[in-house]
Amino acid sequence: MAVTREFVSLTSASAGVNPAGYHPAQGLYWTPAGVKPKVAVIASHYNVDFAEHYLAPLMAERGYGFLGWNTRYRSGESLFLLEHALLDIAAGVQWLREQAGVETIVLLGNSGGGSLMAAYQSQAIDPHITAVGGGPVPDAVNALPPGDLYVSTQAHAGRPEVLTAWIDPSVTDETDPLSCDPSLDMYAEQNTPPYTPEFIARYRQAQRDRNDRITAWAQAELKRLKAGGTYDRSFSVHRVWADPRYLDASLDPSDRPLNSCYLGDPRRANRAPYNIAAHCTLRTWLSMWSLQTSFCQGAPHLGRITLPSLVIQGTADTGVFPSDAHHIHDSLASTDKQLHFIPGDHYLEQPTDSRTICADLVASWIAERT
């Protein structure tokens, strides 16, 4: 089936056209050629450009619309604030209903977007989020148009959860990327896999402690800056490729290759500046990454979602693990929910038919409910 795509650019309730001429929310709407679908998928992410998402043409070939949608924070993770991202997503949902003539909207959360789209639906049906650093959220955040179905594919449990699961707890000085407590270094010679249960328990607690330390500093620093008349500041988070599951096959067993993460060799990646949360503002840390303050954690939102829901997970993913998929499925409040494991890495590039299997599964699941 031939596929067409349309560029869509919109303002949202809290952002107009930039002086340079671009709109805050942008994306591509994929459809079967010559058809105005009554059912469409919308997918968005915290910072990754989803306009040309790999599932977009596949879903269009199967008769559905697919809006690969980007908020104002595309490639701008360091400035992310949840309340404004939700308003940008709402603009896309509203466009699908009012301009594209869509009757059934499927919220698709892929990778990091899983918790973002869950947060969107959660806020749409039960407004409850607050703005970090005090102050009200825009009124429109409490009047988001909801979706009709929810799909999670290769999704992390939540933004603070995935960072904390990956973050290196051996860092002793946040200003020094070389600082290290060898007893908490999973790459140190004295700490070799398979790791003992005692090491893992201490390691996981130390990861949570590091997250909490950064939060405490961010809150204190924000207060200090405010007293001095400054709104915010940026900072770096070092070494976040240190999940023991990268090296230990006995932890969360799956088909994943060992000694691998999304950037290849995790030892090398852990010492490089290319990582999630590499650059933050204080408010972005509190909004996106903090275990204590972020509304980007998945489980509380999933517990508000009663829509029919589908969870799909590839068995060879090196950053999302079987326990994550079970956690998402179990956290959903829906009574109509399914969990499927399929062959595939995080991006479903291998095996070569993984994307087709995923698209067929999503399409047939939607067809049964529309």
Give the CATH number, domain containing residue 311: 3.40.50.1820
Domain count of the fold of the chain: 2
Q: What pLDDT was estimated at residue 136? A: 84
- Same domain? For 234 and 152 the reply is no
Domain assignment present for 175: yes
Residue 160 sits at φ, ψ, to 5 deg, of -65, -35
Q: State how far the alpha carbon of 29 is from the alpha carbons of 33, 41, 94, 211, in Å.
A: 12, 9, 13, 38
Domain assignment present for 186: yes
Q: Which of 251, 274, 289 is the C-terminal boundary of a domain?
A: 289
Domain assignment present for 263: yes
Which residues constitute the domain of residue 239? 168-289
Domain assignment present for 309: yes
Instruction: Report CA Rg, the chain.
Output: 21
In tens, the pLDDT along 244-302 reads 999 999 999 999 999 999 999 999 999 998 889 999 999 999 999 999 999 999 999 99
pLDDT over 80 at 328, yes or no: yes
- Same domain? For 172 and 285 the reply is yes
d(CA 255, CA 336) in angstroms, rounded, equals 28
Domain assignment present for 50: yes
- Same domain? For 153 and 184 the reply is no
pLDDT over 90 at 338, yes or no: yes
Q: What pLDDT was estimated at residue 332? A: 98
In this prediction, residues 76-91 reach a mean pLDDT of 95
- Same domain? For 273 and 306 the reply is no
In this prediction, residues 320-343 reach a mean pLDDT of 98
312 pLDDT band (50/70/90 cuts)? Answer: very high
pLDDT over 80 at 134, yes or no: no
Domain assignment present for 314: yes
- Same domain? For 65 and 111 the reply is yes
- Same domain? For 180 and 251 the reply is yes
Predicted TM-score of the model (pTM): 0.96
b/e code 134-164 from CB counts within 10 Å (16+ = b) = eeebeeebeebbbbbbbbbbbbbbbbbbbbb
- Same domain? For 307 and 263 the reply is no
Under DSSP, is residue 341 helix (H, G, I), strand (E, B) or coil?
Answer: strand
Q: Which of 272, 289, 306 is the C-terminal boundary of a domain?
A: 289
Q: Which of 258, 289, 320 is the C-terminal boundary of a domain?
A: 289
CB 256 within 8 A of CB 350: no
Among the listed ranges 69-73, 77-81, 97-101, 195-199, which one has the minimum average pLDDT value? 77-81
In this prediction, residues 204-231 reach a mean pLDDT of 97
Domain assignment present for 117: yes
Domain assignment present for 163: no
Of 290, 336, 291, 348, nearest in space to 310 by CA = 336
- Same domain? For 147 and 190 the reply is no
- 11 Cβ contact partners less than 8 Å away, ≥ 6 residues apart: 17, 23, 24, 25, 91
On average, the pLDDT of the chain sits at: 97
